[in-house]
Chain A
Amino acid sequence: MVFFERVVHSLSRICDRIAQAAVVAMLLLVVGNILLRIVWKPILGTYDIAGFIGAIVIAFAIAYCALQRGHIQVELLVARFPVRVQGIIDSITGILSLGIFSLITWQCTVLANHIRRVGEVSMSAHISYYPYIYGVAFGCGLLCVVILVDLIKSLIKVMKG
């Protein structure tokens, strides 16, 4: 379990680094487009590309954000309960979270498969964008794994009392 947790942690961190690089890339694209628009001509398809980079930023950052307890939650009530009760509640919500994000991962993969099959391209840059949807599916899948780690930890908490 410790090894599995360490692997998930490292992978999430690597993905977050990719998201960080994507933020810088987005900044360079946006500012580059402003400057080139002034001195020459705008970068074709900036809106499309910025949106795709944005998708990579979010998809690759959500798992690490979850690891750092970055997603907003209401701590008021459960924190007052005994550890075992907290473990039971966290296990139930963990199963629900895992369920919904498994569905999201699956549906993003289905959408990416569909876009790849029909060969759809973006509106202005005319580039195939299905790889970015696979990226979103991957990010959601990684979030599922993070949720799974938390779920296992909660179950251990319940077992040990």
Chain B
Amino acid sequence: MNPGTIAIIGIVLLIFLFLLRMPVAYVMALIGFLGFAYTVSVEGALIILGKDFWGMFSSYSLTVVPMFVFMGTIAFYSGMGGRLYHAAYRFLGQLPGGLAIATCYACAAFGACCGSTNAGAAAMGKVTLPEMKKYHYDPSLATGCVASAGSLAILIPPSTILIIYGVLTEESIGKLFAAGILPGILLATLFALTVYIICRRNPELGPAGPRFSWKERVASLSGIVEMLVLFVLVMGGLFVGWFTPTEAGGAGAAGAIVIALIRRQLTWRGFLDSVVETTRITAMVFLIVTGATIFGHFMAVTRVPFDLSEWVGGLGVSPNVIMAFIIFGYLIGGCFMDSLALVTLTVPVLYPLILKLGFDSIWFGVIIVLIAEMGVITPPVGINVYVIKGVAGDVPLETIFRGIFPFLVALIICAAILIAFPQIAIFLPSFMTW
């Protein structure tokens, strides 16, 4: 049997076992091991198991994950999201759909302290949905808005998906973080515009809230200042080369703890819960990345990623058309599979193709995140929708999914803008010379 056939059998088995509810990380390790054993040798495959598990678990470059996750969980448990929302609400609440517009920007700001889409949606959902309910916002608009905008947490740095992409492709995590900033602001604005257009057409869906005095508005800015301090500390340190990504995450987590303690917003219980959450998320992420690494070894020995890039490169089709197919494929895959799993599984296979087609690898990281954002809100797997359902128990799932649709269109428009103008993503990283 030639290696290509073995790879295809491996991929089919992989999908079959996914569908049988076997954890994705276990399946990737199993198929990777079996495929490598069949293609190379059993001894080699056994050695890879031990070396990869030890190598990935003890990798310094991966210690960035628990540090940034810790920063996000502290921001979550210390109620930082609430303060950001109240600031945005005081400035934008009086507009038609103003509470939902404030939600979009508050989610973007919370994304600057937190890299997990679930935490973003849960933190902001708890704060924003009761307010929107109070002002009789349409439940579909309110829940769809917060579920979608919650996903901004993985585009605006720090971002778990960008970290994993960086580790898998050996790209600079600092550059990837910098690349996410402008597209994040663009997407938040597109989400806000979506709300504005919806509420201009039908003002009953998002009635205007009260107007606040400038005194109240200025007073609310302290909620934004703490986010800015953290963001400047983390991104500034990375940007000028003071910190490694792990150090930036550590400084961010320590900064979040100090801010929460000064504000007396972090209880001992909250601190313990944030550590518990950190170990849970970190274990999940590491196991899946390690599984993907073993599977990646199998793919590499079959040469499928390189043959695929040669084959597609020889088709003579425009790279943008191929990119459109890749995005469409991700969109479909994202409907059935968790975004993190999808990224870890596909990036090692597609990365050589992306380079061969002449796309910028940093830019592709941002595109991958945008697609992951689509994946977390599209049915039937859309995890953010279930998170919001958990917060707003009285709103049926169908209503939330209906509310998602306009924001999904905004995400697709954002992806199209980034394909047409890749400079939006690669402008800031171009200033980083290291």
Contact = CB atoms under 8 A, between A and B. Distances in A.
A binds B: yes
B359 interface: no
Interface in A17-45: 19-20, 23-24, 26-27, 30-31, 33-34
Given A71-B23, A74-B18, A107-B49, 8 more contacts: A30-B67, A48-B60, A58-B57, A70-B283, A89-B20, A100-B26, A100-B29, A136-B54
Contact of B23 (A33, A73, A76, A110): A73
Q: Is the interface of A mostly helix, strand, loop or mixed?
A: helix
Interface residues of A, number: 58
A108 B254 contact: no
Interface in A61-75: 61-62, 64-66, 68, 70-75
A27 B253 contact: yes
Contact of A71 (B67, B249, B287, B381): B287
Contacts of B341: 72
Interface in B258-288: 272, 275-276, 278-284, 286-288
Contact count band on B = 35 or more
Given A34-B250, A65-B284, A96 B29 contact: no
Contact of A54 (B26, B59, B336): B59
18 contacts: A20-B275, A24-B275, A27-B250, A34-B247, A51-B63, A52-B58, A53-B63, A55-B54, A62-B283, A65-B284, A71-B26, A73-B24, A74-B381, A93-B17, A93-B20, A96-B26, A97-B26, A107-B47
B26 A101 contact: yes
A30 B46 CA distance: 34
Contacts of A55: 54, 57-58
B24 A54 contact: no
Interface of A: 16, 19-20, 23-24, 26-27, 30-31, 33-34, 47-48, 50-55, 57-59, 61-62, 64-66, 68, 70-79, 89-90, 92-93, 96-97, 99-101, 103-104, 107-108, 110-111, 129, 132-133, 136, 140
Interface string B19-33: 111111110011001
Interface string B104-139: 000000000000000000000000000000000000
Closest 4 pairs between A and B when the two form their complex, measured CB to CB: A107-B50, A30-B250, A61-B283, A93-B22
Given A74-B24, A93-B22, A108-B53, A58 B286 contact: yes
B66 interface: yes
Contact of A68 (B25, B26, B62, B280): B280
A132 B112 CA distance: 34
Contact of A58 (B283, B337, B380): B283
Contacts of B57: 54-55, 58-59, 136
A87 B60 CA distance: 40
B247 A30 contact: yes
B54 A133 contact: yes
Contacts of A74: 18-19, 21, 24, 336-338, 381
Contacts of B287: 58, 62, 65, 71
B251 interface: yes
